[in-house]
Amino acid sequence: MVLDSTPFHRRRPLNPAELETIPWLKLLSAPERQRAVDDLKITDASAGEFICRTGRPVTYWFGVVDGLLKMSADNAEGQTMTFTGVPPGGWFGEGTALKREVYRYNIQALRKSNVAGLHVDTFHWLLDHSIGFNRFVMNQLNERLGQFIAAREIDRMNNPDLRVARSLASLFNPVLYPGVGEVLRITQQELAYLVGLSRQRVNEALTTLAAQGSIRVEYGGLRVLDLAALRSSGLG
């Protein structure tokens, strides 16, 4: 295996346009920002490549600059459970970084993606020195808790339309994923991977949601028209 065959070995510094996509940089003082910028790296990951894997020690706190990732874990029977997707603007793994633990989940690219990373030592340095960074991380943890509680509820839903609606709502979370905006670039097959349904069934659910005025299917993605309706999902 050649050295440049993994995302880790393809990492490089971020350019100015990429730095502008990092939401928490704007909360730092000039010295704190410089420390972070000097340490930040970005890499590209092709579809199917792993950013981190279960059992590996944490080295970076990651964020999606462009693309789409999947957070999942394998159970004792070898079945894969998908927790969530991570669209642009999403930073993840702060809980693992805080405790300096090994990863308890896999992060895999569903499509070609650009992923930024802040070394765990710099992550802890910012926690020790920056009030703004602390507030950002606290908000992340709070939103993440709500997200995973909702994910447990979704797993127990028998109504496929409801599963798709709630899963879409979680991907349009403006706190966790500020880079998404009103349009999520995602294919029906990618959404099927995240929701755990067939592409055909996801297509039917999207047709139902579009007819109700919650979303609009556009070329290459989905536009949310009524986020509150997706979250409450008053279907039927």
Average pLDDT per 10 consecutive residues for the chain, totaling 236 residues: 71 96 96 98 96 95 96 79 90 95 95 97 98 96 81 70 89 91 91 92 95 92 91 60
Q: Residue 169 burial (CB < 10 Å; 0-12/13-18/19+)?
A: buried
How much is the pLDDT for 155? 63
* DSSP per position, 19-54: HTT-GGGGGS-HHHHHHHHHH-EEEEE-TT-EEE-T
The domain spans of the chain are 3-151, 159-232
How much is the pLDDT for 81? 79
Question: Looking at domain 159-232, which of 1.10.1740.10, 1.10.20.140, 1.10.10.10, 2.60.40.420 is its CATH number?
Answer: 1.10.10.10
Q: Within a 10 A sphere around the Cβ of 80, how many other Cβ atoms?
A: 13
Q: CATH says 3-151 is which class?
A: mainly beta
How much is the pLDDT for 2? 43
